[in-house]
Amino acid sequence: MFPTATLTAFLLLVVSVAANPIVVRKPPVSLSFARHLNITGTHDLIKKDQARAKNLVSISKAKQSGTLSHDAVVSVGVTNVAVVYQASVGVGSPATSYTLLIDTGSSNTWVGAGKAYVKTSTSVQTRDSVSVTYGSGSFSGTEFTDTVTIGPGLVIPAQSIGVASTSTGFNGFDGILGIGPVDLTLGTLSPDTNTPIPTVTDNLFSHGTITSNLVAVSFEPTTTTSVKNGELTFGGTDSTKFTGTLTFIPGTTTFPASEFWGINESIRYGASTTILSTTAGIVDTGTTLILIATDAFNRYKTATGGVNDAATGLLRITSAQFNSLQSLFFTTGGRTFELTANAQIWPRALNTFIGGTSARIYLVVNDLGSPSGEGLDFINGYTFLERFYSVFDTTNNRVGFATTSFTTATTN
């Protein structure tokens, strides 16, 4: 006979598993990471995001046409990445620690931009070279397989990594931890151009380290330039990081958003102003702002009364306009997520770091740089994700959102 307390706990576990769409037989493992503001000049933030958006579309079209090459991508000169999310990742045995940027919009993991790669007994060079362009940066070098330690309990033997011989746009960082869809790695190797590279999440799943092929991301809004305020959870979700229930949105079938973590959504300003009708776009930790198609951006600009700010490239509003600023409503997966007025502005304490003036108010919604109907009409970047918990589920090709204790925060 089970003791009463043990039987009760068992029954509660059975009910919980039956009701939960994600079954995690092994506990999910979390990795803390830090947000870092890394801007060295004006206009960098919007230029970096728009360059990245153009590059994502360019790569997708090049892959579709079978003409993918280094020359097929779009690259715009940017001094540095703007807002980055960095984690300490070990490579080798014994492990050397590297500071890597976390990116759901790419899938290669690589090192060598800052700290040099240290070979150990687990380092194996393959026959391939590897090259990736990100729009605001790039790297090229040699493919190795090596032991990668993401955190306690997250050790991956023979993980493919790129070792950069050249890189641009990553000053102060050692490389990237790519957690996007695996197909984004196609075309990055040579001569094995058509060979995909399993991501770190894929390998954690295939090795049985996690029992769900997904990663969840938690951000928190902040008014400091650098703070440890994020968490990656591999193999499940961390219920302490969100409120209410998770809503899962099927991956879009619209190209080129379908190549990434793409979803369909509509955006409304206030009670009745349609900013963007239901269309396809992507969710991307590597984009700082919320970017929307040019025609949608013009509607948003009219609705808010914002004016273009020459110093930052962002929209600027007055204090009176901010007091009247309405929420943005993102409808996706049968649910509407409210982005409050406070969530639509850049943290005022950080204005000078983007070339702005401390007393002014800047909006984080900006122009994608292309009209709607192109198949990638919005990017929900960091300034969206810091208000909502997000889940990237490879097995079921879907993205999940939930509210958090920061959804309605007045941090900014």
Q: Which of 44, 103, 128, 309 is catalytic?
A: 103
Tell me the two tokens of residue 216: 């969840």
Active site residue 192: no
- Whether 29 contacts 151, CB under 8 Å: yes
* Residue in 100, 142, 102, 99 with CA at minimum distance from that of residue 119: 142
Q: Are the C-beta atoms of 252 and 263 separated by less than 8 Å? A: yes
Cβ burial, residue 6 (10 Å; 0-12/13-18/19+): exposed
How far apart are alpha carbons 267 and 259 in whole angstroms?
Answer: 22
What distances in angstroms separate CA 27 from CA 10, 24, 207, 252, 346, one per listed residue?
16, 6, 15, 29, 36
Report phi then psi at 322, rounded to 5: -65, -40
State the catalytic residue, choosing from 174, 284, 377, 393. 284
Residue 256: is the preceding peptide bond cis (ω within 30°)? yes
3-state secondary structure at position 299 = helix
Report residue 284: phi and psi, to 5°. Answer: -150, 115
Burial-class residue 311 by CB neighbours within 10 Å (0-12, 13-18, 19+): middle
103 annotated active-site: yes
Strand order across the 315-317 sheet? 307-308, 315-317, 361-362
Q: What are the residue numbers of the active site?
A: 103, 284
